[in-house]
Amino acid sequence: MIQMPQAVALLNGFGGAASALVAAVSLMEGLTGIFSLVTAGLALAVGMITLTGSLIAAGKLQKLISQRPVVWKGHSAIVGLSIVLTAVTVALAAVPTVPVWLSLVLCLCFSGFFGVAFAIRVGGADMPITISLLNSLSGVAGAIAGMAIGDPLLVAIGGVVGASGLLLTQIMCRAMNRHLGDILLGKTSAPTKREKAEPAAVVKEAQAAPSGQAACEKESPAEILRQAKNVIIVPGYGMALAQAQQTVKQLADRLEARGAQVRFAIHPVAGRMPGHMNVLLCEADVPYEQLYEMDAINDGFKACDAVLVIGANDVVNPAANTAEGTPIYGMPVLNVADAKHVIICNYDLKPGYAGVENPLYHKKEGVSLLLGDAKDTLQALCNELNANEAQTAPTGAEKIAETPVEEAGEWLHDAKEVIIVPGYGMALAQAQKLVKQLADQLEQQGKEVKFAIHPVAGRMPGHMNVLLCEADVPYEQLYEMDAIDDEFKECDVAVVVGANDVVNPAANTAEGTPIYGMPVLSVDQAKHVIICNYDLKPGYAGVENPLYHKPGVSLLLGDAQVTLQSLLTRV
């Protein structure tokens, strides 16, 4: 997902290139009729504009060229002249006395140059709008190419893509309080003289400002979150770069387990393309009902106890309301500054994509700065929350009989080597990402974690491998039965997630049963076994599992997602 915006920009460009290629071939093969010739020339021009504009957009997003707006001397005049010349070459395509190759080459050059000229001066938070517009242009180019060659299907599909892209562009322009013409003319993102004179002084302030935990000495961010009942999380592009969405979900689940209300505030242009944050959070299984658009949640910041900003800058920058002459001035932003306390998990204190300093960084009260990689800072925050819970938990004589979750948590806390055994129940509960979170948390504490894969775990060969790969579990951590079976004797804890028959020791003794003689994982030889199964019923083969009644086994029954989540809070 990190390079997805660049990939979308390139796909737009390739769509435009395909339409331009269709138009060029049609012209070279000798189209007849004024309508066909003009539409072919127009498809060639729009397709080429889409290609070169998309290449510039992708280059800016990939940092191959300057992400700042690039303004040439007489830029508007150059853009105007290039579009006029492009229109002339489109008209020349229909003039019989002009060689086809000449009009074709001239149209490619002028339209291609126009695409570069209009995209190069767009920067900052306006780039998602530009990508959306280029998406629309790729559809328009396809529809016009369909007209040129008489293909109704191409016209219909291109029209749908063009219309939807234009509608999305309009919605985003309204959300950002922008006029599309101003964006294309570079009025919203071109740097002004005033902006150039300010950064030196502001950078000095930023360097002098406290950073990391030192920014909030009175009360730690973990303590603030522990006491909070109403929390809003604001994701941004930094979350995508750090691939921290799973840790964000883990933290949100922890807070909800403590009784806090957790919501996610999504700015229309957070990230580098429309819907970027929605896709990332969906990937982490954040419920759609917890995602709120800016207009729906902006008034809620005043009443919330804490706001957690993760890798977002321009979309929460209050300078958008006051800093005239800057690229984000007038752009609606999330009212994070209205919250009682703001915890910012950004990589550093540098300005965002628009290049405008964020006064939130220098606010003396109500702001905590956790600088560095978002995944690391969020994991540290989760660990600190757990530490606080452990300190407040009853001990010794005050402690009543341990629950299975508490017992399992203690075993994992003391363990050095842990083996996780996934099964079909994990697939049914879609709990693979929580399994990955548990493994990550154990590794953060210095424990060795391995996954034992039985050949017939699940309902098809490789079922568990695919699910764990989907959760980004490294392939090197997956061990086949023959490679890991002897290690169960030495491991401290075996965690079984939705597996039954493949760990059933009755396979070695229960003659006449369907599983007798089937090689199984020697989970029963581990010092402790934690079983996260739905219930105590036999597995698919219908054979009772003696593991359920063995000492040293903790049974966490119920949906694997729920039991793993409760286990995560205890580790």
For residue 419, count CB atoms less than 10 angstroms from its CB and return exposed for 0-12, middle for 13-18, buried for 19 or more: buried
308: helix, strand or coil? strand
pLDDT of residue 197: 35
Tell me the two tokens of residue 114.
Answer: 């126009």
Taking alpha carbons only, the member of 92, 119, 111 closest to residue 45 is: 111
Helical pair 152-175 and 127-149, crossing angle rounded to 10 deg: 160
The span from the first CA to the last CA of the chain, in angstroms, equals 29
DSSP class per residue in 238-277: HHHHHT-HHHHHHHHHHHHHTT-EEEEEE-TT-SSSTTHH
Q: Sheet holding 230-235: strands in order across?
A: 291-293, 261-266, 230-235, 306-310, 342-345, 367-369
pLDDT of residue 296: 93
Decide which of 207 and 514 is more confident.
514
What CA–CA distance (Å, rounded) separates 531 from 555? 5
Q: What is the pLDDT of residues 45-90, one digit of tens each?
A: 999 999 999 999 888 878 788 777 788 888 889 988 999 999 999 9
What CA–CA distance (Å, rounded) separates 428 from 532? 13
Cβ 82 vs Cβ 43: under 8 Å: no
- What is the dihedral sign for C-alpha 223, 228, 437, 548? positive
Cβ 305 vs Cβ 341: under 8 Å: yes
Which residue in this structure is represented by tokens 């979170």? 437
pLDDT of residue 205: 41
Give the distance between the most distant pair of CA atoms in the chain.
101
Cβ 256 vs Cβ 285: under 8 Å: no
Cβ 335 vs Cβ 317: under 8 Å: no
At 343, give phi and psi (nearest 5°). Answer: -110, 115
Confidence class of residue 234 from pLDDT cuts 50, 70 and 90? very high
Percentage of the chain exceeding pLDDT 90: 45
* Geometric angle at alpha carbon 147, from 143 and 152, rounded to 5°: 75
What CA–CA distance (Å, rounded) separates 452 from 455? 10
Q: What mean pLDDT is predicted for residues 475-481?
A: 93
CA distance readout (Å), 377 to 106, 151, 239, 437: 54, 55, 11, 15
Cβ 567 vs Cβ 532: under 8 Å: yes
Reported pTM: 0.65
What CA–CA distance (Å, rounded) separates 449 from 439? 6
pLDDT of residue 384: 81
Cβ 268 vs Cβ 334: under 8 Å: no
Neighbouring C-beta atoms of residue 567, cutoff 10 Å: 22
Q: What mean pLDDT is predicted for residues 399-428?
A: 86
Cβ 382 vs Cβ 251: under 8 Å: yes
Confidence class of residue 423 from pLDDT cuts 50, 70 and 90? very high
Q: What is the pLDDT of residues 331-356, one digit of tens each?
A: 889 999 999 999 999 998 888 777 78
Cβ 215 vs Cβ 371: under 8 Å: no
Decide which of 207 and 430 is more confident.
430
What CA–CA distance (Å, rounded) separates 308 from 382? 13
- Which residue type, as a one-letter code, is found at position 481? M
Confidence class of residue 148 from pLDDT cuts 50, 70 and 90? very high
Beta strand 306-310 pairing with 291-293: unpaired
pLDDT of residue 75: 86
Tell me the two tokens of residue 437.
Answer: 């979170």
Mean pLDDT of the chain: 85
What CA–CA distance (Å, rounded) separates 385 from 378? 11
What CA–CA distance (Å, rounded) separates 139 from 359? 41
Element (H, E) at 560: helix 560-568
Confidence class of residue 145 from pLDDT cuts 50, 70 and 90? very high
Q: What is the pLDDT of residues 446-459, one digit of tens each?
A: 999 999 999 988 87
Element (H, E) at 84: helix 75-92
pLDDT of residue 451: 95
Confidence class of residue 491 from pLDDT cuts 50, 70 and 90? very high
Q: What is the pLDDT of residues 238-254, one digit of tens each?
A: 898 888 888 898 889 88
Decide which of 389 and 217 is more confident.
389
pLDDT for residue 321 is more than 80: yes
CA 7 to chain centre: 14
Q: What is the pLDDT of residues 497-536, one digit of tens each?
A: 999 999 999 999 988 888 899 999 999 999 999 999 988 8
Cβ 41 vs Cβ 27: under 8 Å: yes
pLDDT of residue 206: 38
Q: What mean pLDDT is predicted for residues 439-446?
A: 90
pLDDT of residue 153: 95
Q: What is the pLDDT of residues 119-139, one digit of tens each?
A: 888 865 567 778 888 999 999
- What is the dihedral sign for C-alpha 249, 229, 223, 415? negative
At 382, give phi and psi (nearest 5°). Answer: -60, -45
Tell me the two tokens of residue 53.
Answer: 């504009």
* Geometric angle at alpha carbon 490, from 489 and 494, rounded to 5°: 75
Q: What is the pLDDT of residues 152-179, one digit of tens each?
A: 999 999 999 999 988 888 877 776 667 7
Taking alpha carbons only, the member of 488, 498, 432 closest to residue 459 is: 498
Q: Which residues are catalytic?
A: 314
pLDDT of residue 400: 47
Percentage of the chain exceeding pLDDT 70: 88
Q: What is the pLDDT of residues 256-284, one digit of tens each?
A: 888 899 999 999 888 767 678 888 898 88
Which residue in this structure is represented by tokens 């086949």? 480
